[in-house]
Amino acid sequence: MGDFIQTPNSISAFVYTGMPTGRGTLPSSGYFGIDAGLAYSAAAISQTQVLVSFTTPITTINTTASRYTITGPSSITVSSVIQSSSTQLTLTVTGSWSGSGTYSLAILNNTIGDATGKFNQGVATFLGPSSAGILPLTPPTVSNVNPVPGTAIYINQPISFDVKDDTGLRRVIITAKYQRAKIQEVVHDGYDFGFSYLGSSNVISSISGGFHYVMLRDGGWPEGPILTTFAVDTSGTENV
């Protein structure tokens, strides 16, 4: 088993040769016979997703959502888990994030493992989306439409409405479709009014959170138009 020797300072010790039974290599760190666990980090990448990253490629995965728990200033629940790369998982979450604060992700033992036999260890802390600078993905809205859609309109009656967004608008494109004539026109391309909408009745004014539009086709409406608004905010969220 070993050879009994006398060390220079006269303290008895055993010197063992070979490896302990059942082990082929020495542990990479920590005490003899105890491997360090599989470390991971977490980051909120949107209001509904948390990205979990591991230090090495993962080969064993239990995607049962209840094994993943997020705690913090508000209640956040993990609803689904998918592997998004060899070293990452994406958690889909529900709940209302606090405006600020730190959250913690805990994964039950033996949920995630790698090819060397290491399993997840520890708890990952991360900032909520607002603290991390990730704004809610709320699309732009169209409101205050006059006259009310679906009602009769006069030939020379302007149409007005507001387009707003909580993060700011990047671009708004408006088109008008005429079913009987089977044509579709660009009312505004995000920079200028279209060729048939250059009259003085066509106006855009700034309002809180967006713009107020007033428009009337040159020469009047040939029929009741179908107006479509395509809006994109500064976070890239669209209203379609």
What percentage of the chain has pLDDT greater than the value 70? 80
Going from the C-alpha of 202 to that of each of 16, 131, 157, 182, 234, the distances in angstroms are 91, 41, 12, 23, 25
Q: Which residue has the higher pLDDT, 131 or 67?
A: 67
| Residue 88: per-residue pLDDT | 92
Residue (of 142, 183, 189, 136) closest to 161 by Cα position = 142
pLDDT of residue 234: 73
Whether 13 is covered by a domain: the verdict is no
Q: Is 67 inside a domain boundary?
A: yes
Residue position matching structure tokens 């060899």: 86
97 versus 64: which is more confidently predicted? 64
Confidence at 28, pLDDT banded by 50, 70, 90: very low
Peptide bond into 147 cis (omega under 30): yes
Distances (CA, A) of 65 to 42, 117, 119, 177, 207: 16, 22, 17, 47, 44
The average pLDDT across 64-83 equals 95
- Asked whether residue 156 is domain-assigned, the answer is yes
For residue 213, the enclosing domain spans: 141-233
pTM as predicted: 0.49
Does residue 82 carry a pLDDT above 70? yes
For residues 234 and 211, the model is more confident at: 211
CB 67 within 8 Å of CB 60? no
Judge if 74 and 110 occupy the same domain.
Answer: yes
User: Does residue 185 lie in a domain region?
Assistant: yes
Q: Which residues lie closer than 8 Å to 108 by C-beta, 6 or more apart?
A: 67, 68
Question: What local confidence, expressed as pLDDT, does residue 232 receive?
Answer: 86
Any domain includes 7: no
For residues 148 and 75, state if they share a domain. no
Instruction: Say whether pLDDT at 13 is over 50.
Output: no
Supply the CATH number for residue 82's domain: 2.60.40.1220
Q: Which residues pair with 232 in a beta bridge?
A: 171, 238
Per-residue confidence at 14, pLDDT binned at 50, 70, 90?
very low
Residue at 15 is within a domain: no
Query: pLDDT (tens digit, 9 = 90+) per residue, 127-180?
Result: 888 766 666 667 899 999 999 998 999 999 999 999 998 778 888 999 999 999
